[in-house]
Structures are given as structure tokens and as C-alpha cells.
Structure 1
């Protein structure tokens, strides 16, 4: 569901930049992949002002916010990294105001943290754009030849001038075309740009440098893992505000991974200091939970009804489910956005910044990583095995479901611990980790079915109240119970695989 505050025009760009000299002729790319020719060039002048905090928080995160005149897409642009060579560009039209629109400012609050957005750079680009055509004359990509004049704004102004080529794929082009073009240009001595954007190139000496990954000391390894997860949390914050697919789930995963690291590596991080932060991360996950739970249950019931023969679907089941979960999703989204708009959440982000800049290390953080971090993995393994023994003592019913759910949480913690120490132990834990993940996944599906049976009873009650048949919900309840029993059996097999998995001797 779309929020009224979020711009509706979003374009995914698949592009790659190349560094070139000012006098180099434009390349001839006919014969590369499906490219058969080039359309007549179009010349443009683009004038852009970039906005960021004074300490360049957006640029450091690979995010750019600009006001650009010129070209068919002139307006406000917010560019968000999606993956290698991929960025989402959110566009809004120009207005009389020279400051960034409120809608775009709100999307990046997890990065700006209340700091004012100010002009940090001005770029003027003389662009020559050529469409790259296939044999049928269809555009498969675009080559832009940019001559850029940039000025970094600040206490010390900085002027620069350079030229770059940019290849952007068309909607129907395969990803392999970028690689083919890269190889063709490399043969002619043209190589990929080291900067992800024009702004990053201009501000290179002003941006905070990403700390080098070190794996010698325990504290270095844990801190690098935490930094990755905090970055993921902030990245998905934007996705949640945009109502992007899977963003709520991924943001919850990041918050759980951070909390898991604080719990798992308490020999390295002072637990007395991090305890409150862990509690706040749990609160955040709880604020996002309704949105994720609604999403999971809607998918489950939609798929479960689709699998039923028509004669077992009695009454307006499908429109009833659509209406019910649409209302649930709307309420859950409001809850999520209220959580992310709260002072409590902003304080949590500040505490995460403090965790990264001034980590509460214990003396053990200075110990050799291989010797120290194995203790945390061993502890996670012991807790996992204890939970498995507890589940084995419960035969059936709600107590069995609760025991398996607890075991699932322990499996998740063990897997996250293994992920965190992978830079140290490499592939030595991979077989064990994969087996643990399969247990976690199986028990996750089992828990979803347990919840679905409860949700289904509520749906049946609501359908009865509206005068509809409840027959189909009874069928779904019975099928869900049978499926859960099957997953219980699958868990037993996968747990045996955990015990047999190859692992280092210190984990035996």
C-alpha cells in the first residue's frame, strides 16, 4: 500500500561508469552483445545541486539527493543503492522551494539523524547521449558522454573537472551486456570508475573512510559484523518508509542480528553496557512485527486456498481474506511508521552510532580472534543442544509447539554467531551452519503453521459473524495441523544432520 508522503515515481537504474580522458573519442560498440548500431547523439546541459549533512552522512552511505535542471527527468532525485550497478531513483518535480521536499527528507532520517540538509556540491554536466540499438532498431542501452565541472561547497571550496562515460541498460537488456561492454572498453584501455557517482568522485577526500576489515583481534571481528548490520538496518529503514517489498523483514533481521551479537559476544562486549541497547532493539523488532506477521499470514492463506479444489472453497473466501488482510496491513503499516517516527527510535539510532564509534569492549576484545571467538560459538551450540533435549522431553500439543519455537530461536542465534565469525574460521563452520539453518527454516515454517491455525480460528469467527460459511477454514485448519506434524518429523531428520555435520574439533 502506498503512503501519501512517498513519491510514486521510482526508476531502477542499471548503470556503470568509466573514467576517460578529456580528448578520447567516443567508443564504437556495434558488435558487442546485441548492439548493432548507435542512434544520433542528443546534447544536453544538466545543472545539479547536491544536498547532504555537513559531515556528508548521505554520501558516506552511498545515498545522493539532488535538485537538477535540464534533461527529460529534471526535478528532485533521491538515489538509493540497491546492489552492484543498481540504484533506485525516486523522483519529484521541481517546485518554487529550493530546499529538499519533506517527503524525501523523511525517507533519509535514519541517516541524517536530525542534522540539517544543506547544499554540499554543485555540478554542471555537458552531456552527449547516444542510444545503443539492436538489429531491429530497439534501444538496449544508452551511452552518455559527460564533461563535468564540479564545485564542492564548504569551508574550503574545491573545483574539479573531468570526463566520464556512463552505460545504462534499457529495460529489456540482460545484465551480461554491462559485462560485455566493460570487457570491450577495457581492451581499448578504458576502465571502470573507482567512484560510484559523480558526487562521490568530487567529495572523495571529504568522505569518512570505511574502516579496513581486520580479523586478528576479537573486537575487530565483532565490530565489523555490527557495522554491517547497523548499515543494513538503516538501508532497510528507507525501504520500510517506502513500503518496499521485504524491507520490514530485512530490517527485523538486522535488528535481531545486532541483538544476537550483543548477547553472543558478551565476553567481548560489556553486557552491563549493552543490555539496555539489546532491549531497545527488541522493542524495535516488536514495532515491526505486526507488518511482517500480516504479510506472512496473508501469503500463507492465499497460497493455501489456491491449492484447494474448487468444491472445498465455500463462500466468498478469497475476497473475504483480501479485505481482512488489507485492513490488517494498513494498521500494521501505521504501527511500523509510528515506531520509526518516534523519539525512542531516534535515540536507538544514536546509541547504535555510539556503539560503533566507542564500543564497550572488555579486555578480551584484544585477544586473538581465533582463540577468543570460538567460546561464543561453543556457547551457542550448547544452548542449541539444551533446547533440543528440552523439546525431546515434550511429546505433543501446545507445550511441544512452544519447545520447538524456543529451539528455533536458539538455532537462529547459533547461525548468526557462525555468520559473525566466518571471517576468522572461513569454511570450517559452513557444514554445521548450513545444517543449523535448515533446522531453523523447518521450525520457522512449523511456527508459521502454529500461528496460522490460531489466525484461522479468528478468521472463521469473523466469517461466521458476517454470515459466511466457515467450512473452508475448517479444512485449512486440518491441513495446517497435518502439515505441522510433517514438519515436526522433518525437524527430527534435520536435527540428526546437525549432530553429524562436519565441524572443527573445538565444536565437537
Structure 2
């Protein structure tokens, strides 16, 4: 099943029914407008009974009529005045098969185990006019809509209204700005709702924005602010990770790790019996995401290394095609894990933790004091691991393993320090910056160690041509040099 995703950038206005549309040709120098086309659009909108999609500014509909009949999922975007739209045509999703799986996966982290049911039906009598530039390129479409909507929620009503939409096709922000002023002058008003569905079912409650912890905040307020932020990041990256968007798996794993770090760094702020099971589940989630992420990094590294060589085909097959297959398998396993009831229950438990925590002994203590103790404890563990490195011979297996321990301790210290960013203490920031620098350099060394182990495995287990073995040796030498350079940079810290 295939889906098409695009960025919808549009303006929406309320208008009086029957208000004549202005001539839009004047928006573009030497521009023109096409012949108006009229369509009857009939849509059914789906959500849970408690409208969790609407609360997350997300809409899911099945629509017939017009030029894009099918299923449409619309979500917020980081681009101003824009929304992300994913669509599946009826050719790819037969009408009687229900919500397409590809769209269900995209909203799984929001809907979870909730049942999707029709919440509104909306019929739109739409007249569409295209705006072209002097070269005949379509810049935008202007829609005059007469809307009739029926809410299917308890106590729902039928409402009718008229609105205008101006959506960019190949136009730019300057055209959008001109169109806004032009249409307002013609009698259009600011839209009373962000979407037709919002107007049909009425306003829905949204999550209250949490205030960042300050000088007088309690430890519980600090922890809850951090947990909410990382929970939101985890949920936001979930659909992107499923489709293997750039850096999405990595960022989702970071969010899971930071959540676990907050829980383990402040063990007495929230009751352990509430946090411990969640921390254990987050550890498992991090491992699942880590498998996919590590193979993603390995594949990218192999591509960069071979780009500098005239590598024979058998080596390319092992280091590129073979790793790509392993990566795809890891992604498949990750997607399965993200679709299990266990993972969805973890998201529910995180919500409950943020909304209804069981206070621990340190809950009402000043945030600065509790954070200072947590950061200091983590920093002491890092320094102890660094001192213990002296007990091993340089470049011995035990010495290399201790560098790995130092890297993990540095990451823990960094995350703990960053959890107190909102307190704005320079000493916390300095420790976090130092830990980040250690983690970065030893992370490079760890990557090279992992890569070299994989190269050695390939050399031992895979029949390769002499030319391939020669190139493999060159790559191994470069990785060894890169690792030694990273260790040297670490020692300077």
C-alpha cells in the first residue's frame, strides 16, 4: 500500500454565503486564472470517542468527489501556515477495507489502543479556480466552499457555513501574503476554526503547556517538565521513525534514553514503584531502536569509506547491499515492536506518570538542590571511571572496554546536566558541556571499534577476492587511525 505525502500551505477565511469572489488574476503580474470547476465533496472524519486526534491537531478522513478521493491524514508541521498531509487513494485502499494500515501506523502513538469511529460527516460544495503566472505555471488554487457538517458525537448538531481557502501549489510566501490582504479587502474574515472538523465538532481541550522550572521550583516540577518534553518528543518522532525519515530513529532513541535518564537520575522525586517498571520498558525500547540506528550508522559509514576506494563488486555487495538488508530487517523488527500493545501501554504509562505522579521523598525539595546532588553524583561516577582507566594497559581489550564505560558514564552525566537546563546554573552547563565533549570523542572511537570488528568478521567469514581483501585492509587502517585520533582528542580534554 503506497501513500503520498505533501506539505499543505493555505489560508482559510470565513465569508458570508453568496459573497462574490474577486478576480485573482491581479495577484500575479501578467497572471491569469483558469476556468472554475465545481465539485461535491463528501467526507467522513474518524477519531476516538474522546477525540484524541483532534486534541493533537490531527485529522483523518475518507473523502469522495473532487480530484483526490481517498483517505487523508493531516498533521501539524514545523513550517508556518502549513500542515503535513498524507493521502492514500482508493486504488491503494479499497473502500470497504477500513482505515489504511499505513495511516493507522502514523497515528498509533496518539490513538494507541483506542478505536477509530466516525465523529463527523462533512459535505462541501466547492468551486475551484487556479491562479497561473505569465508562463502558465499553476501557483495556487482558490476554493469557494459551502459547507454542511454534522457532528456524530453525543449531542452533536448540523452546522452550515461558507468559507474561502487559498492554497499554494508552486507559489511562494510573497504570493500568500498578497492573497491574504487581497481576500480580506474583498470581504473575507479570519477563520473561526483551524479546520472544518474543528468547526463541526466544536473546540476540543488541548494539553496545557507546562512552564519551565525556575529558581523556586520543586524537584517534582523540574522532573515533570523534563518528562513531558521527552515524552512529547518520543511521540512526535514515532511516525517518522516508522517511515525511516532522516535521523528520526536516532532522535526517538535519544528521547527514550533521556526519559530513562530522568527517572534514574532522580530516584526519590517520584515513587520508585511507579517509575521502575517504566524505566525498564524504556531500556528495552532503546535497545530495539538501537539495533536499527546502529545498522543505519554502519551503512552510512561503509558508504563513506567505499566512496574513497575503487572497491570491487564483491566487497560492495557485502558492505553495502548486505548491510542494507540487515538494516531493513532491523527496521521491520522495530516497526513490529512499535505496533505491539506493550509499547502502546508504555506510552499510556508515561502519560499517567506525567499527569498523576506519586510523589517521592524529594518531591517538594528545591529543584536546584536535588539537581545539584544528581549531577554531582553522576559526575563522580564519570571521574571514577576515568581514574580506573589507569589500571589497564593502553589499547588492551580491558582498556578499550573501560573507554566504553567512560563514554556511557559521560552520556549519563550529560543527560542529567541537561535535565536541569531550565534552572540556568552555569556550573550545571559546564559539567554538561564537558560530558558532551567526552561522549562525542569516545563515541567516534566506539564507532570505529564496532566498524573494525565488523570488518574483521567479514574478512574471516566471507570469501572475497584478493582485490577486495586489499581494500578491506586499507579501510581498516583508516578506521584505526580515526579511532586513535579520537582518543587523542579525548585525552586533551
Bigger drift between 335-344 and 289-298 goes to: 335-344
Tell me if the contact between 1:227 and 1:356 (Cα under 8 Å) persists in the aligned partners: yes
Following superposition, the deviation at residue 474 of structure 1 comes to: 1.2
Q: Does 1:223 align with 2:224?
A: yes
Distance in 1 between residues matched to 2:460 and 2:266, nearest whole Å: 46
Counterpart secondary structure, 1:364: coil
Give the deviation of 1:120 after TM superposition. Answer: 0.8
C-alpha contact 1:316 1:468 (8 A) present in aligned 2: no
Deviation, 1:158, is: 3.2
Take 1:404 and 1:28, find their aligned partners in 2: how far apart are those partners? 70
Deviation at 1:124, TM superposition (A): 1.9
Indicate how the Cα distance of structure 1 residues 319 and 270 shifts in structure 2: closer, same or farther if over 3 A, else same.
same
| SS of corresponding position for 1:329 | helix
Q: CA deviation at 1:390?
A: 4.1
What CA deviation, in whole Å up to 9, does each residue of 1:75-126 have, x standing for no partner? 1222343423231313131634274244533443333232221111112223
Give the equivalent residue in structure 1 for 2:444: 445
In structure 1, the partner of 2:10 is 16
> Counterparts of 2:183 and 2:33 in 1: how far apart (Å)?
16
Query: Superposed, which structure 2 residues align to 1:335-350 within 5 Å?
Result: 335-350=333-348
Instruction: Give the match for residue 283 of structure 1.
Output: 284
Check 1:400–1:27 CA distance in 2 against 1; reply closer, same or farther (3 A cut). farther
Q: Tell me which moved more, 181-190 or 403-412.
A: 181-190
SS at match of 1:144: strand
SS at match of 2:257: helix
When structure 1 is superposed on structure 2, of 101-110 and 471-480 the one drifting more is 101-110
Structure 2: runs of 5 or more not aligned: none
Change (3 A) 1:130 1:489: farther
Whole-angstrom distance in 1 between the partners of 2:413 and 2:183: 46
Does the 8 A contact of 1:19 with 1:165 survive in 2? yes
* 1:140 corresponds to 2:139: yes
Aligned to 1:4: none
1:65 to 60, 63, 69: 60
Q: How far apart are residue 164 of structure 1 and its match?
A: 4.0
* Structure 2 residue matching 1:146: 3-state secondary structure: strand
Cα deviation for residue 28 of structure 1 reads 6.3
**1:17-96 map, 5 Å:** 17-22=11-16, 26=21, 36-84=31-79, 85-93=82-90, 95-96=94-95
* In structure 2, distance between residues paired with 1:28 and 1:442: 61
For residue 54 of structure 1, report the CA deviation from its aligned partner.
Answer: 0.7
Residues 186, 342 of structure 1: CA spacing in aligned structure 2 closer, same or farther, 3 A cutoff? Answer: same
Tell which deviates more after alignment, 22-31 or 234-243: 22-31
**1:41-82 per-position Cα deviation (integer Å, ceiling 9, x unaligned):** 333221111111111122223332211111111112223434
In 2, Cα distance between equivalents of 1:368 and 1:472: 59
Q: Give 1:504's aligned residue.
A: none
Match of 2:209 in 1: 212
- The 5 A counterparts of 1:462-473 are 462-464=461-463, 469-473=468-472
Q: Determine the C-alpha separation between the residues in 2 that align with 1:38 and 1:468.
A: 63
User: Would the alpha carbon gap of residues 26 and 98 (structure 1) be closer, same or farther in structure 2, given more than 3 Å must change?
Assistant: farther
Match of 1:211, SS state, is coil
Deviates more, 1:48-57 or 1:437-446: 437-446
Contact 2:375 2:428 survives alignment (8 Å) = no
Partner of 1:498 in structure 2?
Answer: none
Compared CA separation, residues 148 and 367, structure 1 to 2 (3 A): farther
- The alpha-carbon distance between structure 1 residues 194 and 402, as it changes in their structure 2 partners (threshold 3 A), is farther
Q: Corresponding residue for 2:362?
A: 364
Q: Shift in Å at residue 249 of structure 1?
A: 2.1
Q: Does the Cα contact within 8 Å between 2:68 and 2:89 map onto a contact in 1?
A: no
Once residues 409 and 176 of structure 1 are traced to their aligned partners in structure 2, the CA distance between those partners, rounded to angstroms, is: 49
Measure how far apart 1:451 and its partner are: 0.7
Name which of 322, 325, 328 aligns with 2:323: 325
Residue 449 (structure 1) shift: 1.3
**SS of equivalent residue, structure 2 residue 121:** strand
CA distance 1:174–1:307, shift in 2 (3 Å): farther
Q: Is the 8 A contact 1:219 1:366 kept in 2?
A: yes
Once residues 360 and 489 of structure 1 are traced to their aligned partners in structure 2, the CA distance between those partners, rounded to angstroms, is 46
Contact 1:50/1:64 (CA < 8 Å) preserved in 2?
yes
Q: Answer whether contact 2:88 2:100 (CA < 8 A) is retained.
A: no
Q: Which moved more, 1:331-340 or 1:173-182?
A: 173-182
Shift of 1:431: 6.4
Q: Distance in 2 between matches of 1:211 and 1:492?
A: 46
Deviation, structure 1 residue 27: 6.0
The answer for unaligned runs of 5 or more in structure 1 is 1-6, 496-508
| Change in 2 beyond 3 A, CA 1:463/1:141 | farther
The separation in 2 between residues aligned to 1:31 and 1:439, in whole angstroms, is 60
Q: 1:488 to 1:66 in 2, by over 3 A?
A: same
Give the superposition deviation at 1:241.
Answer: 3.4
Q: Which segment is superposed worse, 259-268 or 448-457?
A: 259-268
Quote how far apart the aligned CAs of 1:306 are.
0.2
- SS of structure 1 residue aligned to 2:207: coil
Q: Is the 8 A contact 1:182 1:192 kept in 2?
A: no
* Cα deviation digits, residues 238-275 of structure 1 (max 9, x gap): 23433444332222122112111111222422234312
Distance (whole Å) between structure 1 residues aligned to residue 72 and residue 341 of structure 2: 27
